[in-house]
């Protein structure tokens, strides 16, 4: 596909997203109907669509249009890039050329008000200001750019140097993450990872630095019984099991069994035995219970940018009660003197420190050992975790 044809495809996918389709579904549907597109085309299309979703508000502002459309958003994104608008060249599969009205409406982002640079809906501008003070705009701007690709080295399979060397043999260049002992940042050929030997043999897993920091900080030891109460795809339980040296009992639980679909294969690759359970089927008690709770996701909108546009005041207000309920249920599975971790990828105190405080008020037999908020940086997603001990 030509660059112009990719832009036309992105406009089509964005129109579907504006009409209410989740972006991943719209991309999959487009790929199914466009068999001529190769893997590079699909990847380039995905990048274009997600670039727009990270910068949805500023792209519309730059387009000068009032009403959102795929064409307005793509125009607003591309007009900020040198030669970006050359895609509107009238070629066979490209978008039709810009009209003089469209060209005349374009605006330079440098002249936009501060709020446009934040690329957040109004609801979140005030929440970010309240939560982050002077750091709110820097954080919001950081969430407008693509996230780095991070790997966690599975220390049960290899050292960090061995994993780097195996990846390099396949052309995947990495560098060590300074802030986490198991972490690598991929600097060349990230799209080769899923098919690489290092990945299929379980030497590395995709995991952001913040998730690695939180699991390493949980302080697990060999032989521990560990419960990951909101396991999802299982990234946390695999990291916790590796931190425990692979020996102990490792249980993954999720209210939605389907979320753990890929976990058995991931655990096999990693050389870790994980029990997957759902509903009330958790048996025994645990030295460590890890709660990676559902949340607004505000620390990870670089990776999942749709979330920031879909959040409503009602949904935001409902999270703390849900989080508290989950944390309380998870805590019942802890042994005396066991450690409980509460984690979210949210930056908002309502989902973090306020949940911790209410939990402690309700359960005086727990002590909070520490609470840490990781801010959004080039090297790290936003994440918050608190450790409790059961007295």
Ligand X SMILES: C[S@@+](CC[C@H](N)C(=O)[O-])C[C@H]1O[C@@H](n2cnc3c(N)ncnc32)[C@H](O)[C@@H]1O
Active site residues: 345
Tell me which of 119, 205, 224, 292 binds ligand X, using CB under 6 A. Answer: 292
What is the smallest separation between the CB atom of 292 and ligand X, expressed in angstroms? Answer: 4
Q: Is 381 annotated as a binding residue?
A: no
Exposure of 275 by Cβ count < 10 A (0-12 exposed, 13-18 middle, 19+ buried)? middle
Return the range that interacts with ligand X (CB under 6 A); candidates 22-30, 51-59, 107-115, 248-256.
248-256
Q: How is residue 197 written in tokens?
A: 């030997």
Check residue 152 for interaction with ligand X (CB under 6 A). Answer: no
- The residue count for binding ligand X (CB under 6 A) is 14
The C-alpha atoms of residue 311 and residue 246 are separated, in whole angstroms, by: 38
Distance between CA atoms of 386 and 340, rounded to whole angstroms?
Answer: 8
Contact 291, 215 (CB under 8 A): no
Q: Shortest distance, CB of residue 94 to ligand X, whole angstroms?
A: 39
Tell me the closest approach of the beta carbon of residue 255 to ligand X, in angstroms.
4
x-or-dash pattern for ligand X, window 201-230, by CB under 6 A? ----------------------------xx
CB-nearer residue toward ligand X: 118 or 326:
326
Among residues 43, 96, 168, 255, the one that binds ligand X under rule CB under 6 A: 255
Quick check: helix, strand or coil at residue 334?
A: strand
- The residue among 140 and 227 lying less far from ligand X, judged by its C-beta, is 227
The phi and psi torsions of 310 (rounded to 5 degrees) equal: -95, -10
Q: What is the C-alpha separation between 307 and 311, in angstroms, rounded?
A: 6
Residues facing 226 on adjacent strands: 250, 288
235: contact with ligand X by CB under 6 A: yes
Nearer to ligand X, 65 or 300 (CB): 300
What minimum distance in Å lies between the beta carbon of 382 and ligand X? 13
Closest separation between CB of residue 331 and ligand X, Å? 12
Tokens 């750091």 belong to which residue? 135
Q: Which of 295, 303, 298 is nearest to 124 (CA)?
A: 298
Q: Which is nearer to ligand X, 68 or 292 (CB)?
A: 292
For residue 294, state whether it binds ligand X (rule: CB under 6 A). Answer: yes
Among 233, 264, 271, 307, indicate the residue that binds ligand X (CB under 6 A). Answer: 233
* Residue of 3, 64, 84, 232 that binds ligand X (CB under 6 A): 232
In this complex, which beta carbon is closest to ligand X, that of residue 10 or of residue 311? 311
Residue whose token pair is 């960090």:
160
Which segments of 297-342 does DSSP mark as H helices, in order?
A: 306-310, 313-331
CB 242 within 8 A of CB 175: no
Q: CB 232 → ligand X: shortest distance, Å? A: 3
The C-alpha angle 161, 165, 167, rounded to 5 degrees, equals 120
- Round to whole Å and give the CA distance between 154 and 120: 36
Select the residue interacting with ligand X from 122, 256, 262, 268 (CB under 6 A).
256
Q: Which stretch binds ligand X (CB under 6 A): 109-117, 254-262, 346-354, 368-376?
A: 254-262
Q: Is 292 annotated as a binding residue?
A: yes
Specify the pairing of strand 383-390 against strand 366-374: antiparallel
Helix (H) or strand (E) segment spanning residue 9? helix 3-18
Q: 48 vs 251, which CB is nearer to ligand X? A: 251
- From the list 254, 287, 351, 381, which residue makes contact with ligand X (rule: CB under 6 A)? 254
- Between strands 225-228 and 249-253, the pairing is parallel
Q: Which of 264, 291, 285 is nearest to 275 (CA)?
A: 264
Give binding residues for S-adenosyl-L-methionine as ranges.
254, 292
Interface residue list for ligand X (CB under 6 A): 229-233, 235-236, 254-256, 259, 292, 294, 326
> Which residues are part of a known binding site?
254, 292
């Amino acid at each position: 596909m030509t660059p112009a044809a990719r832009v036309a495809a992105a406009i089509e996918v964005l129109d579907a997203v504006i009409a209410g389709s989740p972006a991943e579904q719209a991309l999959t549907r487009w790929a199914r109907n466009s068999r001529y597109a190769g893997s590079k085309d699909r990847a380039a299309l995905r990048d274009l669509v997600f670039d727009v979703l990270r910068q949805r508000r500023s792209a519309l502002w730059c387009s000068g249009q009032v009403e959102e459309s795929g064409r307005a958003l793509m125009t607003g994104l591309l007009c900020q890039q040198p030669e970006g608008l050359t895609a509107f060249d009238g070629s066979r599969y490209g978008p039709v050329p810009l009209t003089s009205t469209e060209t005349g409406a374009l605006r330079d982002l440098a002249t936009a008000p501060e709020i446009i640079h934040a690329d957040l809906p109004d609801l979140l501008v005030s929440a970010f200001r309240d939560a982050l003070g002077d750091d709110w705009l820097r954080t919001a701007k950081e969430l407008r750019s693509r996230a780095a690709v991070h790997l966690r080295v599975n220390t049960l399979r290899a050292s960090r140097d061995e994993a780097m060397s195996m990846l390099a043999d396949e052309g995947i260049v990495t560098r060590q993450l300074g802030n986490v002992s198991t972490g690598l940042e991929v600097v060349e050929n990230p799209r080769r990872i899923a098919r690489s030997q290092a990945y299929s043999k379980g030497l590395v897993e995709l995991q952001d630095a913040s998730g690695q920091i939180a699991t390493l900080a949980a302080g697990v030891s060999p032989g521990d019984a560990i419960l990951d109460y909101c396991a999802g795809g299982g990234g946390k339980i695999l990291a916790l099991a590796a931190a425990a040296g692979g020996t102990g009992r490792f249980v993954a639980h999720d209210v939605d069994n389907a979320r753990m679909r890929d976990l058995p294969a991931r655990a096999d690759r990693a050389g870790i035995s994980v029990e997957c359970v759902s509903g009330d089927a958790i048996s025994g008690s645990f030295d460590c219970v890890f709660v990676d709770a559902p949340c607004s996701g505000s620390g990870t909108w670089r990776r999942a940018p749709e979330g920031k546009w879909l959040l409503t005041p009602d949904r935001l207000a409902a999270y703390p009660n849900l989080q508290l309920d989950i944390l309380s249920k998870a805590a019942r599975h802890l042994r005396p003197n066991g450690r409980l971790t509460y984690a979210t990828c949210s930056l908002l105190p309502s989902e973090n420190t306020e949940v911790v405080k209410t939990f402690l008020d309700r359960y005086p037999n727990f002590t909070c050992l520490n609470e840490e908020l990781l801010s959004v940086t080039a090297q790290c997603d936003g994440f918050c975790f608190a450790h409790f001990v059961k007295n």
